[in-house]
Amino acid sequence: MATLLLLPGDGIGPEVTAQARRVAERLSATAGLDVTLAEARFGGAAIDADGVPLTQATLAAARAADAVLMGAVGGPQWAGQPYDKRPEAGLLALRAGMGVFANLRPARTFAALAAASTLKPEVVAGLDILFVRELTGGVYFGEPRGISGEGDARRGVNTHLYTAAEIRRVARVAFDLARGRSRRVASADKANVMEAGLLWREEVQALRDAEYPDVALTHILADNCAMQLVRAPTQFDIILTDNLFGDILSDQAAMLTGSLGMLPSAALGAGGPGLYEPIHGSAPDIAGRGVANPCAAILSLAMALRYSLRRPDLAVRVEGAVEAALDAGARTRDLGGTLTTAAMGEAVLAGL
Ligand code: NAD
Ligand code: IPM
Ligand code: MN
């Protein structure tokens, strides 16, 4: 039997994860999903109870699980802490500790939501982009880092660093996925101003030339990519990015689909469990009110079914259930409706 570890986290994290749990329980009861659900404290909740955002025991449990489903972490309560004591540091430590270097962030428009985007429906119709974001390197992790000095001489330092091996292993994931899609990859970088970006471009191109001649590779400067995403987003299929650009561009793409509350993600390494999380955060502005959209969390469960729990059939069913709920008019507030988080979860269960 497989183990799915739930890390609800902070803010709306527990609210949306609870709905994903209901879906998993329903699949266990009715569709032969053979999975044990476990749960652990994570993020700010763990700081309050255990003094650190990610305990060794929780990291060990994550590594031993077959898949990990995380809600969201962070919030104003913990924003004044030193970086290593913040909920977000726990998430970075979890990603690094699980070795999940490739973050898949699909952004696709559900037909029923074409009008929910702030862009014109004809611009986002048929949108189906897959971001492949490098997740355990780059400026998020590079050393040296820190704040030092006094007065006018205070310095904040972060290091944007990539090795060829780090670039190649995530590019390989993008090229392999491209073979199951339209065989097109756009790689976004800032090779015009950053050496690490130039290395990124050279290594991605070299890997393509050596091993993936059947995949069409284009390079795009990340700022132009941001513009093209709102000008003509359907020109993209797979977008390969470093850690920082992938964070920013995927939030931007989320809005093309109608809401940040719709976008799931899967973080994969070289074997081992995957880490599944909505791309949104803890949404302190709506936390505790039961109005958050649980679809990103439920769709993250679908990705876990596909990539870690070996039930692609159930992944398709869950995605279909979300689509059916939307087609039937179910909408949380971010989508212009009035449903609560639980009622939206109920609508997805009905679609199952
Ligand atoms: P956010 O993603 O939490 O929220 C941005 C906006 O989107 C807010 O208005 C929020 O209400 C809305 N929103 C987000 N998810 C929603 C959902 N499911 N349904 C409806 N509306 C939703 O980003 P933020 O406000 O910049 O960050 C808040 C905290 O979350 C910060 O501490 C940040 O570090 C953290 N964060 C965590 C993660 C994560 O755990 N993976 C991701 C992003 C941000
Ligand atoms: C995300 C989040 C995280 C990131 C933060 C909370 C560490 O914004 O998953 O998109 O920047 O990767
Ligand atoms: Mn983000």
What tens digit of pLDDT does each residue of 295-345 get? Answer: 999 999 999 999 999 999 999 999 999 999 999 999 999 999 999 999 999
* 119 is a domain residue: no
Per-residue pLDDT, 273: 98
Report yes or no: 203 and 171 within 8 Å, Cβ to Cβ. yes
* 242 is a domain residue: yes
Per-residue pLDDT, 62: 98
Q: What is the CATH number for 232?
A: 3.40.718.10
Would residue 251 show up in a list of annotated catalytic residues for this protein? yes
Mean pLDDT confidence for 153-174:
98
Q: What is the CB < 6 Å shell around ligand 1?
A: 12, 16, 72-75, 88, 91, 260-261, 277, 280-286, 292-293, 296, 334
β partners of residue 186: 218, 239
Would residue 34 show up in a list of annotated catalytic residues for this protein? no
Q: What are phi and psi for residue 67, nearest 5 degrees? A: -155, 150
Amino acid code (one letter) for 150: E
Per-residue pLDDT, 328: 97
Residues 317 and 241: their CA atoms lie apart, in Å, by 30
Q: Are residues 41 and 67 in the same domain?
A: yes
Mean pLDDT confidence for 120-128:
94
* 166 is a domain residue: yes
Q: Are residues 240 and 146 in the same domain?
A: yes
Report yes or no: 256 and 107 within 8 Å, Cβ to Cβ. yes
For residue 325, what are its two tokens?
């709920």
What tens digit of pLDDT does each residue of 180-190 get? Answer: 999 999 999 99
Q: Are residues 200 and 274 in the same domain?
A: no
Would residue 120 show up in a list of annotated catalytic residues for this protein? no
**DSSP states of 53-120 as a string?**
SS-HHHHHHHHHSSEEEEEE---GGGTTS-GGGSHHHHHHHHHHHHT--EEEEEEE--GGGGGGSSS-
Measured in angstroms, how far is the CA atom of residue 247 from the centroid of ligand 3?
Answer: 5
Q: Ligand 1: which of 78, 85, 260 to mutate, most ligand atoms within 8 Å of CB?
A: 260
In this prediction, residue 81 has a pLDDT band, given cuts at 50, 70 and 90, of: confident
Residues 332 and 170: their CA atoms lie apart, in Å, by 35
Per-residue pLDDT, 333: 97
> Could you give the number of structural domains in the chain?
2
* 122 is a domain residue: no
pLDDT at 200 over 90: yes
Would residue 214 show up in a list of annotated catalytic residues for this protein? no
Atom 8 of ligand 2, nearest CA residue: 247
Across the chain, mean pLDDT equals 97
Domain that holds residue 44: 1-105+262-352
Q: What is the DSSP letter of 233?
A: G
